[in-house]
Amino acid sequence: MAGKITADLSGMTILITGASSGIGAHFAEMTASRGAQVVVTARRRDKLEELVADIAAKGGRAHAVTVDVTSATSIRDGVAAAVKAAGPIHALINNSGVAPGRPLLGESAEDWDQVIATNLSGARHMAVEVARQMVEQKSGGTIINMASILGLRQGSHVTAYATSKAGLVQLTKQMALEWARYGIRVNAIAPGYIETPMTAAHFETDAGKQQLLRIPLRRLGQVEDLDGPILLLLSPSSSFMTGSVLVADGGHLISSL
């Protein structure tokens, strides 16, 4: 399409978490189609293998590595397997996440722990493991954390999720500060509502349809709406950006509704 950002990612190896579905699967296809070698990770092996086969059928290079981000051992083994399969990792897209909607008073301590373990601790452990190999190879690198506008505003019945994403925003800035000396840039993207398996059912409901009316651009985002921010943050054109949070939300955050 005329006007689309073109970016050549050849020579770049990108590890993407939460790549078995939605935004992560799209990022894998989109970056592989621009020449990146991708390592796709998540828990569902069958979905990852389908994705790798699709990318390979289009001439791209992809590897599937099963990782559960709530397990430090799985992360350690997964990053080692990724490096063995694909060589040094230049970029990490920390995208895996869960978003159960429930009121705080209807949530168990275990429910809360699961959200924080996946969305916040999982992102931290994965970034640390990948950063260690970036430091070792003295190459620098780029890490992109998938936050959410709910890390910057409040919403009903999403306290664990919103708290995990607010933590991820702060984690992004802390990591950016600590790792700048190694040439590792750390930034976040804060999407608004994007149509994926995480959100599709909700936006079929009356409450979901009402919510769409509060988005100034009056539509649900599509996974392609995040291509600009992700390509910018992967590119050397953003080499002076670290600790930033790019919002892509159709204006939801600036709306007073």
Ligand X SMILES: NC(=O)c1ccc[n+]([C@@H]2O[C@H](COP(=O)([O-])OP(=O)(O)OC[C@H]3O[C@@H](n4cnc5c(N)ncnc54)[C@H](OP(=O)(O)O)[C@@H]3O)[C@@H](O)[C@H]2O)c1
Active-site positions read: 161
**Near ligand X by CB under 6 A, which window of 82-90, 96-104, 179-187, 236-244?**
96-104
Of 86 and 160, the one with the shorter C-beta distance to ligand X is 160
Q: Strands 245-248, 61-66: parallel, antiparallel or unpaired by DSSP?
A: unpaired
Q: Which is nearer to ligand X, 100 or 140 (CB)?
A: 100
What is d(CA 80, CA 87) in angstroms, rounded to the nearest whole number?
Answer: 10
Residue closer to ligand X (CB basis): 137 or 199: 199
Q: Is 97 in the site for ligand X (CB under 6 A)?
A: yes
Identify residue 221 by its one-letter amino acid code. G
Nearest-approach distance from CB 40 to ligand X, in angstroms: 9
Q: Does 197 bind ligand X (CB under 6 A)?
A: yes
Is residue 52 at the binding interface for ligand X, with CB under 6 A as the rule?
A: no
Q: Which of 133, 139, 163, 199 binds ligand X (CB under 6 A)?
A: 199
- HSE, side-chain direction, 13 A CA sphere, residue 161: 19
C-beta closer to ligand X: residue 185 or 252: 252
Integer Cα distance of 133 and 25 in angstroms: 24
Residue 7 interacts with ligand X (CB under 6 A)?
no
69 contributes a contact to ligand X by CB under 6 A:
yes
Q: How many CB atoms lie within 10 A of CB 6?
A: 6
> How many of the other CB atoms lie within 10 Å of CB of 150?
23
The whole-angstrom separation of Cα 1 and Cα 3 is 6
CA distance 17 to 22: 11
- Contact set with ligand X (CB under 6 A): 17-24, 42-44, 47, 67-70, 95-99, 118, 146, 148, 191, 193-194, 196-199
